[in-house]
Amino acid sequence: MKEDNVGGSEVIVEPHRLTTSDEMNNGSTGGSSSSASARAVVVRNATKVYGSGKNRCAVLEGLNMTIKKGDIYGLLGASGCGKTTLLSCLVGRRSLNSGEILVLGNEPGTPESGVPGPRVGYMPQELALFGDFTIKETLQYFGRIYNLRAAFVDSQLEFLTKLLDLPASDRYVKTLSGGQQRRVSFAVALFHEPELLILDEPTVGVDPLLRHSIWNHLIRQSVDHGRTVIVTTHYIEEARQANTIGMMRSGRLLVEESPENLLNSYRLPSLEAVFLKICIRDGVKKRVEQRIGVAADTSTGPVVTCQTAARPQQPSVDHVNMAFDDSISQISVSEVEHPQFPATPTNSSGEPPVNVELISSTISNTTHLSEADMTRSQQPGSVAAAMASASGGRTTGRKSRSHTFRVALPSSHRLGALIRKNFLLTIFVLLYFLPAFQATVFNVTLGHEPTGLKMAIVNEEINPIQGRICNYSTDCSYSMLSCRYLRYIKDNIVQVPYESVPDALEAGKKGHVWGVIHFGRNFTEEFEVRQTEGDAANLENIMRSRISINMDSSNQQIDVYVEKWLLEAYGNFFKDFMKACMFEPEAGYLPVVVHPVYGQKDTPYTEFMAPGLIISIVYFMAVSLTAGVFVSERQQGLLDRSLVAGVQMTEVLIGHLVNQCTVMMGQTALVFMCMLLLFNIPCHGNLVLAIFITLLQGLVGMCFGLLIATLCDNENSALLLSQASFLPFTVISGVCWPIEGMPFYFRSIAYSMPLTYAIESLRSIFSRGWGIERLDVYAGILISIAWIVALLTMCLIIIRVRKYAS
Ligand SMILES: Nc1ncnc2c1ncn2[C@@H]1O[C@H](COP(=O)(O)OP(=O)(O)OP(=O)(O)O)[C@@H](O)[C@H]1O
């Protein structure tokens, strides 16, 4: 690596990187303020508060920190003291509430800083990798993000595999042991050879031998290549290998010194003992401050420290963590005194005596960033001056801006990496075929006429002595008309003869038959009298010439079908009879005729439902896929890690958009083929328009999925929300029942659903053959676009609000 100086700012040219013009323009490969060039990281008066209202707690409280370039800096502190929060502010993933940070000469998150970006290598505490990637794919993914040459990635993979004793590179991350996964995570932070390495507990779950080689590697990075390393660890003694140790407690840095100086000045044999002592002193100082009422500045409202708020009674795990912990700060100093170091006297109650001056002077001696130091730093040429110049002369103050959505053009290599990654994860053929499979299931199962419906037939016209044979003639004779009628009943109804009405009704009550068809003893004669007497027929005759039907109406669909078929059978029977008697057959029909304007008479239910089904399948696939992918990416931490690697949120969104659109197009094509070719659902209008509206709805679904992903923190709640929205959306949007069948007050809700207008639109194209000039069609398009804009806006607002809150 060599460094040039262009126009007063450093440009670091790394030979293994394919430097792009946008990076050069952004200055993301370099660009530091010369006045702060000796310092890799400078933090002044950093304050970070989590939550709001009652849950407001401060995790960083006026923290100051200085890290020299090329140093290894060991950041130590008890669990929950704010180390991870500080690191996430350094890498630009969180913003401070007040205070200033400079990383490699610039404020993290600004386009010119290169942080987040390739200048920094970050190993977060959590794994933050995709389990479905192999080790090689993981490095290749980040290689593309950093725009590294493939040969360089391969050679680094080989080198790091040996150094970190990684398993075979074709092993999936999810199949590795916890320790192996952490080593892969470590490799990801190292492999692009960044100027600044930020490692959050890299040696957890690593055996001593490997820990030794990791530290050796870090030392080589620092000594041979001048790279800066910030490392947090709970193994305090391993931090002896660091050039400087920063010790954090309750959101502040108590001491920042080399390990040798610490051991010498405290005359203690171990760093653990030194830290315990410093913590106890800090605890004593705090209690003193509380007693004399100088502790807290309450001008901005009461803000407790997160540690205190989160775990007031948390038991300590080890000797050192006990010392870190506020709640046990009353431990006597003498418990850890080295014989050569004079013990602090205690009072009769075992508590150290309260001596503000003594404690204050001790603290100010042991803490490097004292008031005086801060005052000195305001001098020209000081760090503070460097900060002021780098931040354009702004004074320290509350910052609320977020760098989540930086205004910069998407980079082709990062977009390429994201799209490739997304495709690797959605390559499953099943994903493309799933909607077509759903459409097939729908077509096979829904909307068809029921068959095998048993109906009891009680025909008293049949003479039991002659057997139960139901003979009839086809001429114009009034003979056994009941049998003649039964012939016209559709085969979907299975006729089961019963001897008596009570028996048949009993069978109906037991659920053996759907209903009972009953013909009286003189049905044919009565029918003849009614025909010959016409309007003069008396009521008794009319009643006896009727076919009496009792139905089990518990199933509305079957009830409707049976009634329809029995009436149709009567129409056909009578038409046939009239024809046989040389009358006009049509004379037997009701004097009401229905002619279809669109569609056909008795349009199958499947055709009514098909447009709604197509839209809802594509929509909900997009919802669940988008929500699932986003939430799992965020939950696994890869999103955060990618953002630290320099990926912009807009690139993540575009990457998903490209991927999901491709998947959606494939799914839509298969669904349409299934509907039109396999199940012969007719489309009377413009097919391209129908596909366009479906794809638009897919986009609405994606945006809704994105909204779910921004609202939910884990896969379960995202899944629950998308599942929960499925039924109400499909039902209210009129997929399976006309909106005209809903109560008036509910219709406006139905029309405010994202799918409703699009379904109406598609239905108009499919069954009416309407084009884009019709309101019913273009309303679907316009309202879908409005939904896309509205949902995306909501997502952006929520992302900003949530980022600010965290
Ligand atoms: N998003 C958040 N919202 C609210 N509180 C948070 C959030 N993140 C962290 N905290 C709280 O802030 C405090 C500091 O957390 P942080 O993760 O920075 O500690 P840490 O020093 O890294 O701990 P550890 O060593 O266990 O990783 C903790 O009390 C934690 O509960």
Out of 54, 56, 76, 83, mutate this one to test ligand 1's pocket (max ligand atoms within 8 Å of CB): namely 83
Count Cβ atoms within 10 A of the Cβ of residue 803 and give its class: 0-12 exposed, 13-18 middle, 19 or more buried: middle
For residue 528, pLDDT over 80 is answered with yes
Q: In ligand 1, which atom is closest to the CA atom of 232?
A: 25
Q: Mean pLDDT across the stretch 411-434? A: 79
Residue 287's nearest CA partner among 341, 340, 365, 347 is: 347
pLDDT band at 552 (very low <50, low <70, confident <90, very high): very high
pTM: 0.68
Buried b (16+ CB within 10 A) or exposed e, 286-307: bbbeeeeeeeeeeeeeebebbb
Residue extents of the structural domains in the chain: 453-588, 609-805
**Strand 252-257 to strand 120-123: parallel, antiparallel, or no bridges (unpaired)?**
unpaired
Q: What is the identity of the amino acid at 589?
A: Y
Cα–Cα distance measured from residue 41 to residue 280, given in angstroms and rounded to the nearest whole number: 28
User: In this predicted structure, which of 152-161, 422-431, 559-568, 603-612 has the lowest mean pLDDT?
Assistant: 422-431
Residues sharing a CB contact under 8 Å with residue 340, sequence separation 6 or more, in sequence order: 267
pLDDT band at 308 (very low <50, low <70, confident <90, very high): low
pLDDT for the residue numbered 304:
62
For residue 349, pLDDT over 50 is answered with no
pLDDT band at 244 (very low <50, low <70, confident <90, very high): very high
Q: In Å, how far from its chain's centre is CA 415?
A: 20
Out of 54, 60, 61, 81, mutate this one to test ligand 1's pocket (max ligand atoms within 8 Å of CB): namely 81
- Name residues contacting ligand 1 (CB within 6 A): 50-51, 59, 77, 79-85, 125, 306-307, 310, 806
Q: Mean pLDDT across the stretch 155-176? A: 92
Cα–Cα distance measured from residue 511 to residue 19, given in angstroms and rounded to the nearest whole number: 78
For residue 568, pLDDT over 80 is answered with yes
pLDDT for the residue numbered 342:
34
User: In this predicted structure, which of 16-25, 178-187, 285-294, 365-374 has the lowest mean pLDDT?
Assistant: 365-374
Tally the residues of the chain.
806
pLDDT for the residue numbered 114:
79
- The SS3 of residue 33 is coil
Instruction: List for the chain the helix, strand, coil content (%; round to 5).
Output: 50, 15, 35
pLDDT for the residue numbered 377:
38
Q: Which residues are bridge partners to 229 per DSSP?
A: 72, 197
Higher pLDDT, residue 201 or 455? 455
Cα–Cα distance measured from residue 715 to residue 723, given in angstroms and rounded to the nearest whole number: 12
pLDDT for the residue numbered 319:
40
Q: In ligand 1, which atom is closest to the CA atom of 234?
A: 25
CA nearest ligand 1 atom 9, residue: 85
Cα dist from 184 to 130, 135, 169, 632, whole Å = 11, 7, 10, 19
Cα–Cα distance measured from residue 546 to residue 526, given in angstroms and rounded to the nearest whole number: 9
Q: Mean pLDDT across the stretch 702-724? A: 88
Count CA atoms within 13 Å of residue 499 on its CB side: 3
Q: Mean pLDDT across the stretch 96-115? A: 85
Cα-to-centroid distance, 141 and ligand 1 (Å)? 29
- Written as six digits, the tokens of 220 are 């080589």
Q: Mean pLDDT across the stretch 265-275? A: 86
pLDDT band at 387 (very low <50, low <70, confident <90, very high): very low
pLDDT for the residue numbered 348:
35
CA nearest ligand 1 atom 28, residue: 80
- Per-residue pLDDT tens digits for 451-460: 999 999 999 9
Q: In ligand 1, which atom is closest to the CA atom of 50?
A: 4
- Per-residue pLDDT tens digits for 90-103: 998 888 889 999 99
Q: In ligand 1, which atom is closest to the CA atom of 310?
A: 29
Q: What is the DSSP string of 86-106?
A: HHHHHTTSS--SEEEEEETTB
Q: Quickly count: other Cβ atoms within 10 Å of residue 348's Cβ.
A: 6
Q: In ligand 1, which atom is closest to the CA atom of 125?
A: 27
Buried b (16+ CB within 10 A) or exposed e, 408-438: eebbebbbebbbbbbeebbeeeeebbbbbeb
- Segment holding 43, helix H or strand E: strand 39-50
pLDDT for the residue numbered 340:
36
Q: Are 631 and 706 in contact (CB under 8 A)?
A: no
- Per-residue pLDDT tens digits for 651-682: 888 888 888 888 899 999 999 999 999 999 99
Count CA atoms within 13 Å of residue 790 on its CB side: 12
Contacts of range 210-213, beta carbons closer than 8 Å, 24 or more positions apart: 210/164, 210/165, 210/183, 211/235, 211/238, 213/163, 213/164
Cα–Cα distance measured from residue 178 to residue 129, given in angstroms and rounded to the nearest whole number: 12
Cα-to-centroid distance, 312 and ligand 1 (Å)? 14
Out of 49, 55, 59, 198, mutate this one to test ligand 1's pocket (max ligand atoms within 8 Å of CB): namely 59
For residue 156, pLDDT over 90 is answered with yes
Q: Mean pLDDT across the stretch 168-193? A: 91
Residue that the structure tokens 């400087």 belong to: 244
**Strand 39-50 to strand 98-103: parallel, antiparallel, or no bridges (unpaired)?**
antiparallel
Q: In Å, how far from its chain's centre is CA 400?
A: 25
pLDDT band at 417 (very low <50, low <70, confident <90, very high): confident
Q: Mean pLDDT across the stretch 499-507? A: 95
Residue 567's nearest CA partner among 513, 490, 483 is: 490
pLDDT band at 302 (very low <50, low <70, confident <90, very high): low
Q: In ligand 1, which atom is closest to the CA atom of 82?
A: 18
For residue 590, pLDDT over 60 is answered with yes
Cα-to-centroid distance, 288 and ligand 1 (Å)? 26
Q: Sign of the CA dihedral 658, 664, 666, 669?
A: negative
Cα-to-centroid distance, 79 and ligand 1 (Å)? 8
Cα–Cα distance measured from residue 279 to residue 655, given in angstroms and rounded to the nearest whole number: 48
Buried b (16+ CB within 10 A) or exposed e, 76-107: bbbebbbbbbbbbbbbbbbbbbbbbbbbbbbb
Q: What is the identity of the amino acid at 434?
A: L
pLDDT band at 47 (very low <50, low <70, confident <90, very high): very high
CATH T-level fold of 453-588: D-Maltodextrin-Binding Protein; domain 2 (3.40.190)
- Written as six digits, the tokens of 444 are 């096979």
pLDDT band at 398 (very low <50, low <70, confident <90, very high): very low
CA nearest ligand 1 atom 22, residue: 84
Q: In Å, how far from its chain's centre is CA 571?
A: 59
Count CA atoms within 13 Å of residue 667 on its CB side: 32
Count Cβ atoms within 10 A of the Cβ of residue 592 and give its class: 0-12 exposed, 13-18 middle, 19 or more buried: exposed
pLDDT band at 3 (very low <50, low <70, confident <90, very high): very low
pLDDT for the residue numbered 806:
52
Q: Quickly count: other Cβ atoms within 10 Å of residue 793's Cβ.
A: 11
Out of 56, 84, 324, 327, mutate this one to test ligand 1's pocket (max ligand atoms within 8 Å of CB): namely 84
- Segment holding 10, helix H or strand E: strand 9-13
pLDDT for the residue numbered 46:
92
- Per-residue pLDDT tens digits for 600-619: 777 888 888 999 999 999 99
For residue 320, pLDDT over 60 is answered with no
- Written as six digits, the tokens of 586 are 């049509």
Q: Mean pLDDT across the stretch 617-630? A: 89
Q: Mean pLDDT across the stretch 228-234? A: 91
- Written as six digits, the tokens of 400 are 């609320």
Cα-to-centroid distance, 56 and ligand 1 (Å)? 13
Cα dist from 326 to 65, 75, 279, whole Å = 21, 18, 8
Out of 85, 87, 234, mutate this one to test ligand 1's pocket (max ligand atoms within 8 Å of CB): namely 85
Residue 108's nearest CA partner among 41, 29, 61 is: 41
Q: What is the identity of the amino acid at 743?
A: P
- Written as six digits, the tokens of 558 are 């079957």
Q: Are 643 and 116 in contact (CB under 8 A)?
A: yes
Integer Rg of the chain from CA: 40
Q: State ipTM.
A: 0.96
Residue 407's nearest CA partner among 201, 650, 660, 672 is: 650
For residue 316, pLDDT over 60 is answered with no
Q: Mean pLDDT across the stretch 398-407? A: 42
Q: In Å, how far from its chain's centre is CA 726?
A: 16
Q: Mean pLDDT across the stretch 556-583? A: 93
Residue that the structure tokens 């009436």 belong to: 567
pLDDT band at 306 (very low <50, low <70, confident <90, very high): low
